[in-house]
Structure 1
C-alpha cells in the first residue's frame, strides 16, 4: 500500500491534516477571510478541506488548490460536488512549488505542508508571489514546545521554538495579525484519530494482504508519538500580512 493510500486511511476521521479541531479551523478561516475577500489559494491542499469549508460559508468565494496527490484531489472533487461548490473550485495536480497563476489571491493557505517548499521561509516566499495587495497568508508550522528528545528530532528534524518561529516570520517582512497554538487536546485528538483509523482499518481487513502492513504502521507511529515527541511537539497557525516599508518624518 502506498504512502498516500495510508495517509488517506489515517485521516478518514480527521480530514484536516493538522492538529486543529473544527472550531479552531472555523475561527481561523473567519479571521483570515474578512468580508469582500473572494479568491483563495491553498498550496498543498490535499483533500481541500480548508477550501471546501471556506466555499461552503462564502457563496461569492472562488478557490484554487494545488497538490501532487491525485488520490486526494479525486476525493476533493467528489466532496465539492456533494456540497454543490464544484463550479467555484479549481484543482491543479502538480507540485505546489511549480504552480503559477494568472491572477493574485486574497488569501493564500499552507497549513502543515511547508515541506513542499523546503521550509517555512521558502513557503512564505512562494505565497508572496501569489498574494494580492492587502491580502493575507494562513500558514501552519510545527515547533518545539519543550526541549525535544533525540527521538523527537529524528521524527521532525530541526524545529525552532515558538518565539523563534514568530521572530523569523517577522524578520522576513510579515506582520502576524492573528495566531493559534494547538492545545494539548487538539494535538492528542489528531494523533489518536490518525493511528486509530489505521488500526481499525487493519483489523477490519485482516484478510487483506495489506492489513498487516497497515497495523504495523499504526503501531509504530503511535509508539513514536507516545515515546518520542508527544511532550515536546507544538503546532502554530499564523495569519499574516506583509509589513509595509514605513518612514518617519521629523
Structure 2
C-alpha cells in the first residue's frame, strides 16, 4: 500500500504536504484554542508535522493515518525528534473508512478529501470519530479566481471547473451539510510557493542521483513543465484553506 511514486519523489523533502507554512500550522492550532490533552485524529496525516508540532506546542495527543510508507516513517521520526513520540502515533494504512476506537475532540482531513469521495463524504467519515461538540477540520482547495475555461481548470490540475467552488460557495456548502464554520485559516502565495517550488529542487537532485532510473523520464518531464504551469495557472487561480466546523 502506497501513494503514486511521483509524490514520493517530489514531496520527499516536504514536512508539510499542502500550501501551509509552519507559521500557518501554528496559527491554526492557536485559533482552535487547543488545550493540553486534546485528542486529535488526522486522516491523511502525511509526514506528521501538524500533529507533532501541536503535541510539542499545545500538549495535544493524537493519531495520524496515511498510506505513504515514506511519509509515515518520516512522521514517526519527526515525533521522536520533537520528543513527542509518547503523545502521537502514526499508522501506515489507507485512511478511507478509518474510524477511531476512541472518539476525540478534533477530527481532521487536511487536503485528502478523496478518502471520503469528496468533502461531504469526508465530513461524514470524520464525524464518526468525533465526540459531541467536537471540531471537524477540512483542508480543501477553492477557486481564488474562476477559471475562464475548462482547459484552464485542467491546467490547475482540476478535473473540471465544477471540482471546486469559490470561497463563499465552499463556506455555504458546509452550512448546507448542517455545520457552522467556526474558524478558517487560509494559505497565502508564499505558502503555495513553498509547497510547489520546493518540489523542483527535490526533483532536480533526484534526477542527478538517479539518471538511469526507469522513472527518470517522467520526473524530467514534470520538472520541465511544472514551473511554468504552476505560475501561470495554480498560483493565479487556486486558493487553499483549512476550515473548522461544528455540527448545528
> How many residue pairs are counted as aligned between the two chains?
241
Query: 2:63 corresponds to which residue?
Result: 64
| Alignment of structure 1 residues 174-189 onto 2, 5 Å | 174-189=179-194
Query: How far off is 1:213 after superposition?
Result: 3.4
Question: How far apart are the structure 1 equivalents of 2:207 and 2:82?
Answer: 30
- Deviation per CA, 1:161-217: give whole Å up to 9, x if none: 111100000111111121122222222332211233222332354465544432222
1:199 and 2:204 correspond:
yes
1:173 and 2:175 correspond:
no
Query: 2:54 corresponds to which residue?
Result: 54
- Deviation per CA, 1:218-239: give whole Å up to 9, x if none: 2233333234333211112112
Query: 1:164 corresponds to which residue?
Result: 169
Q: 1:54 to 1:168 in 2, by over 3 A?
A: same
1:79 and 2:78 correspond:
yes
1:116 and 2:118 correspond:
no
1:30 and 2:35 correspond:
no
Of 224-233 and 160-169, the range deviating more from structure 2 = 224-233
Kept in 1, the 8 Å contact 2:34–2:58? The answer is: no
Kept in 2, the 8 Å contact 1:202–1:215? The answer is: yes
- SS of 2:128's partner is helix
Query: 2:126 corresponds to which residue?
Result: 127
Question: How far apart are the structure 1 equivalents of 2:90 and 2:190?
Answer: 32
For the pair shown, the structure with the greater C-alpha radius of gyration is: 1
Of 2-11 and 102-111, the range deviating more from structure 2 = 2-11
Query: 1:11 corresponds to which residue?
Result: 11
List runs of 5+ in structure 1 lacking aligned partners: 244-250
Q: 1:97 to 1:212 in 2, by over 3 A?
A: closer
Q: 1:131 to 1:58 in 2, by over 3 A?
A: same
- SS of 1:98's partner is coil
Query: How far off is 1:123 after superposition?
Result: 1.0
Q: 1:173 to 1:229 in 2, by over 3 A?
A: same
- SS of 1:66's partner is strand
- SS of 2:86's partner is helix
- TM-score using structure 2 length: 0.87
Query: 2:21 corresponds to which residue?
Result: 21
Query: How far off is 1:96 after superposition?
Result: 1.3
Kept in 2, the 8 Å contact 1:37–1:106? The answer is: no
Kept in 2, the 8 Å contact 1:195–1:219? The answer is: no
Query: How far off is 1:33 after superposition?
Result: 4.2
Question: How far apart are the structure 1 equivalents of 2:77 and 2:131?
Answer: 29
Q: 1:80 to 1:29 in 2, by over 3 A?
A: same
Query: 2:241 corresponds to which residue?
Result: 236
CA-based RMSD: 2.2
List runs of 5+ in structure 2 lacking aligned partners: none
Q: 1:234 to 1:199 in 2, by over 3 A?
A: same
Query: How far off is 1:152 after superposition?
Result: 3.7
Q: 1:220 to 1:175 in 2, by over 3 A?
A: same
